[in-house]
């Protein structure tokens, strides 16, 4: 018997492929919608928390996420409906994005990819459709879903500590847990049905989040009881310093272009940008 098509899952993948392809072709398109903490916090471009999930670094990155979403998302959609899939997928994207925003609020940082949403769908599937197993390359045998969940949490913790591989382990972790929490809110019966695994996953995650709150990115230890107003003030000051540095670099690039090819070499957008940066620099001085 032919398996029915999961239309919502396929549509999400189709839109993601189309927008990722446009990002491959157009750096300006990519830069406009990529995850960027400075643009989100300073310029209030909150849409980047979602739009970055529709962009990917290359075909391999896109293919892996698309395949994972299809393998797990179609089962969620067929057994629990498209609305459940949408809530888990986009809720996990937002959850992963918000965790990344917190961790990288002081950094010049870019991220893209649907991994947060995909991880949310995978973790929801593990509890909503228990008893399954996963094939994870290059392991040649299936891994029980409960073991995958535990290993995933530990691996994300290690990945966050190292921060050397350019993989958004923070978005993976945030997306996975938010996806599971949404599944719990929609179907509370998954908790008693998988109580030991649920408590293990949530216990590990709670400990990790507590550590990150006290000491984000393993910088000098922060005071978790510090007033929120102080944290916000420090964040704004750092973002302003980052913005000034980026503007100085951009101005140097534009002036170098003028030096090489004359003022007429700038297009209208570059002229407008140069004027805006110059005006802000005069105001600061």
Per-residue pLDDT of the chain (285 residues; tens, 9 = 90+): 455 678 999 999 999 999 999 999 988 899 899 998 888 988 889 999 999 999 998 898 898 888 889 888 988 999 999 999 999 999 999 998 998 888 777 777 788 888 889 889 988 988 898 877 777 667 788 888 777 767 766 666 665 555 544 455 677 788 888 999 999 999 999 999 889 888 888 887 777 777 766 665 544 444 444 544 554 455 556 556 666 777 777 788 888 888 888 888 888 777 888 888 888 777 766
CA separation for the pair 55, 31 (Å, rounded): 10
Q: What is the pLDDT of residue 219?
A: 46
To the question of domain 7-218 being in CATH 3.40.50.300, the answer is no
Instruction: Please answer whether residues 13 and 66 qualify as being in contact, where contact means their C-beta atoms are separated by less than 8 angstroms.
Output: yes
Say whether 38 sits in a helix, a strand or coil. helix
CA separation for the pair 24, 92 (Å, rounded): 24
CA separation for the pair 237, 40 (Å, rounded): 15
Q: Compute the C-alpha angle 212/147/118, nearest 5°.
A: 65
Q: How many of the other CB atoms lie within 10 Å of CB of 18?
A: 11
Q: What is the pLDDT of residue 236?
A: 58
Q: What is the pLDDT of residue 122?
A: 87
φ, ψ of residue 134 in degrees (nearest 5) = -125, 145
CA separation for the pair 22, 68 (Å, rounded): 21
Using only the alpha carbons of the chain, give its radius of gyration.
Answer: 22
What is the residue extent of each domain of the chain? 7-218, 228-284
CA separation for the pair 6, 83 (Å, rounded): 12
């Amino acid at each position: 018997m032919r398996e029915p098509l999961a239309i919502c899952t396929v549509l999400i993948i189709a839109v993601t492929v189309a927008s990722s392809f446009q990002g491959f072709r157009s750096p300006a398109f990519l830069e406009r919608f990529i995850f960027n903490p400075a643009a989100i916090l300073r310029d209030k471009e909150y849409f980047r928390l979602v739009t970055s999930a529709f962009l990917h670094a290359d075909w391999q990155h896109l293919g892996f996420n698309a395949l994972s979403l299809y393998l797990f998302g179609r089962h969620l959609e067929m057994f629990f409906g498209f609305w459940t899939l949408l809530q888990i997928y986009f809720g996990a994207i937002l959850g992963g994005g918000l965790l990344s925003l917190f961790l990288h609020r002081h950094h010049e940082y870019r991220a893209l990819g649907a991994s947060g949403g995909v991880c949310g769908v995978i973790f929801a599937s593990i509890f909503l459709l228990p008893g399954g197993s996963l094939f994870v390359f290059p392991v040649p045998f299936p891994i029980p879903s409960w073991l995958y969940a535990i290993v995933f949490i530990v691996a994300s913790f290690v990945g966050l500590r190292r921060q050397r591989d350019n993989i958004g382990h923070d978005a993976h972790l945030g997306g996975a847990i938010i996806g599971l929490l949404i599944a719990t809110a929609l179907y509370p019966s998954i908790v008693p049905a998988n109580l030991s695994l649920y408590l293990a996953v949530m216990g590990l995650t709670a400990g990790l989040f507590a550590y990150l709150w006290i000491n984000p990115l393993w910088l000098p230890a922060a005071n978790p009881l510090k007033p929120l107003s102080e944290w916000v003030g420090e964040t704004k000051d750092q973002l302003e310093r980052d913005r000034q540095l980026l503007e100085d670099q951009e101005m140097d690039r534009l002036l170098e272009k003028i030096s090489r090819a004359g003022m007429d070499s700038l297009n209208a957008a570059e002229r407008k940008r140069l004027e805006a940066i110059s005006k802000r620099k005069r105001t600061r001085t």
